[in-house]
Each structure stands twice: as C-alpha cells, then as structure tokens.
Structure 1
Amino acid sequence: MIDQALQLVRDRLNDHLRVRFSVAEDLVNLSSLTDADGKPAQAARNRLALFLTNISRDAVPRSRPGGGAGPVAQAQPMHVDVYFIVASGHDADLYGEGLKLISAALMFFQAQPVFTPQNTPDMPPGLSQLTVEVSNLSVDEISQLWSNLGGRYVPSIMFKMRSVLIDAGAVAGVTPTITAPSQRAEAEAV
C-alpha cells in the first residue's frame, strides 16, 4: 500500500504541474536523488524527486469499520504515517526552476491536503483517505537527515502522509460455531 500511496501522490502532483506549467512530460519522479553508487540518479535529473524517508506507526487509535462479531476474527489493520521528501534534482544552472517547482508542489499540497475517493477517483482500492501535511524539521535535523541520506542538501521539503492502511486480511483466530448443546447445558436442564 505504501508504494500505491506514493505513486498516487506523485501522479496527482504531476497532473497539477503539467496543467500549471503547460508541459506534457512528468516533472516529478518517484526516485531517490542518487543511485546505489552515490551518483546522481538519472530519473531525478532536472526533475523533482519524491522519495520515502521514514515509516512509523500512526499513534492515533482507530477502530475497524464494520468490525462485527463472527466466527472468524481478523487481525486489526495497522495505520502508518509515511514521511516523504520532494526535492529538486535540478542542475546548478536550473536552480531557479527547481525552486519554482518546489513552490508549486507546496501550493498543491496546501490546496489539496486530503485525498479521498470522492476527490481522487483513481484512488487504489484499500486506500480510503490520505492526508498530507508539512513535517517541520530544525536545521540540525535537516543536516542530520541529508547526512544520513548520503547526499548534499538540495532544495526540498518533507511531508507526512497520514493513515496509510496496512491490512493483510490475516485471520487472527476462529471461534467455533455451536452445533449441539454442551453436556453441561444438558445436565442443567434436567
């Protein structure tokens, strides 16, 4: 589900940027800024890169809709928060273009912070609602994050996407159905 949630966000952001800047190509790729060897990733060159930085369990308790009792008990789904960065992979001579795209991305998420099947008809099954908000980091946290990512800082902003639902539909237990009265019930009836 995490991959589908990030792809959905990337696709909606691309749709917005294509219309806003009257371009045909995608301006955002789901890609890290560097490849496995630490070299700039070709998919992120002169584009915005959208990449995962953290996954954490959502601490807000939720109940399963329509939970109901029955003979089969399913494991409770897990809600996770997905942190992602939108970063400029633009060459130095296109630095201003990168800033322009980061600003447009920020305005997009400010205007549409909630994704639901009503406002996002192509939302994948299993995703009922996603909210996206800016995740503020201090200068020290930004420095540490980029150091951990193994790269140099580029213009970027981190977002927190709330409530990605992880539900394997796993059976947690089966309650046997009663097919005949128990011996105890028969003895009490006598």
Structure 2
Amino acid sequence: MIGLVLKLLRDELSNYIVQNKSQGDSIIQSDVILHNIALMDNDGQTDLNNKVVITLVNTEEESTLKNGSNILRTPNGVKYVEPPVFLNLYILVSATLGQDLQDAYEFALERLSLVIQFFQAKKSFTVQNSPFSSISSDSNISEEVKEEIKLNVELYTLTFEQINHLWGSLGGKQVPSAMYKIRLISIKENSGISAPLVEELVNNQNVTNIN
C-alpha cells in the first residue's frame, strides 16, 4: 500500500510540474521519481541529478485510531481479524541540481515552488480524483484497495536543527526540498478466524427448585 500511495502522488505531481514548468526547463514526467535521496552522491547514482525526488523518510502510527474493532461481518457470519494499522508517512521532496545546466539552482528552486503550489492547491487524494495516476487503470489492483486510498497531504515544517539532522542522517549535500506529512494509509492483513452467525441461544443449565 505504501508503494501505491507514493506512486499515485508521483504521477499526479509529475503531470503538474511538466504542465507548469518554466520556459527553458527540460524536465519531463519521468524525471519525477521515487528514490532514496541519500544515494544522490554515491558513485553510479547520476540518475538522481536534475530530478524531483520523492523519498520516504519516516512512518508513524496514528495512535488515535489504534483501538479499532477486530470483528468483521461477512455474509456467512463473522470474522475475527486484527484491526488495520493506520500510518502517517513523512516524505521529503527534493529538487536536485543538473550538472550540465548553467542555471541548475534556479531551475531547482522553480521546481520546488511548483511542488509547493501543487500540494497547496490539492490536499486530498483518492484514486477517483487522480486522473493522471496509472493506478486507476491497473487491473492488477483490486477495486477494494483502490477505494481504501484516501490521503490528506500537508506541509510539515522542520526547524533548522531538524533540517541539519535530517540531511546529516541522509549523508548527502543539502538541496532545495520540502517535507510533507501524508495522513492516513491503512495497512492490514486479510487473514483471520471465521465463525458462523449465532442464530439461537440454548441454555442447558439445570434449574433446581428450592421449596
């Protein structure tokens, strides 16, 4: 589910950036990618240059929804399952620099501005309201899973200390970036223990009359 959610956001964001890019910017939809920004400075990772990179940096359980019911009604009775885990995802969206562009930093700032504009204008995402996502037409994804994708995205502001710690942990040189918090995604396993409906109660307790 995490991969599906991030793919949906990537597809929608890439279309917006390409449609609204500044004159002279050669970015194409395939330049908006899901990747680990920590690998940007590694040898052989030149494919991260001149891109908009979406990186998952943290997951957090939504504690307010932790104690859900573990009884699921079915046509044949009930099923006892563990309640789903609801997660908040923290993603870092980075605009990396192109090595061969004279105005690389300026283009990176412009792309980051488009990222912020995009999420400012559209904060809620479902498969139904995301026409540019390949998920909607993917027959390998069940309709039930598609219906479960309901996301709210908000800008998550870091302090200077948190920014330094984050990029220090990533081990790379800092590039223009913004962090977003994605609420909520549901993770669950469909296996469980099935039981029939209770249709009749029988009391076999012996009753003794006391005279």
TM-score, scaled relative to structure 1? 0.83
Q: Is the 8 A contact 1:53 1:83 kept in 2?
A: yes
Alignment partner of 1:133 is 2:145? no
**Quick one: distance in 1 between partners of 2:120 and 2:201?**
60
The alignment status of 1:86 with 2:74, answered yes or no, reads no
What letter corresponds to residue 54 of structure 2 in structure 1? L
1:159 aligns with 2:180: yes
* Most deviating of 128-137 and 21-30: 21-30
Match of 1:59 in 2: 63
- Equivalenced residue count is 186
Structure 2 CA distance for aligned equivalents of residues 176 and 152 of structure 1: 59
RMSD: 3.1
Distance in 2 of aligned mates of 1:131 and 1:15: 19
Give the unaligned 5+ runs of structure 2. 137-144
- How big is the shift at 1:153? 1.1
2:119 corresponds to 1:115:
no
CA–CA distance in 2 between the matches of 1:39 and 1:143?
Answer: 23
The residue type paired with residue 89 of structure 2 is V
The answer to which of 122-131 and 77-86 deviates more is 122-131
* Unaligned runs of at least 5 residues, structure 1: none
Change (3 A) 1:79 1:180: closer
How does the TM-score come out when normalised to structure 2? Answer: 0.75
| 3-state SS of paired residue (2:112) | helix
Residue matched to 2:106:
96
Task: Report the CA distance shift for 1:39/1:142 in structure 2 as closer, same or farther (over 3 A).
Answer: farther
**TM-aligned CA distance change 1:25 to 1:56, over 3 Å:** closer
Matched, 1:74 2:78: no
- Summarize deviations over 1:5-32 as a string: whole Å, max 9, x none: 1111111101111222386543311112
Aligned to 2:20: 20
Q: 2:39 aligns with which of 35, 38, 50?
A: 35
Q: Percent identity?
A: 26
Change (3 A) 1:75 1:126: farther
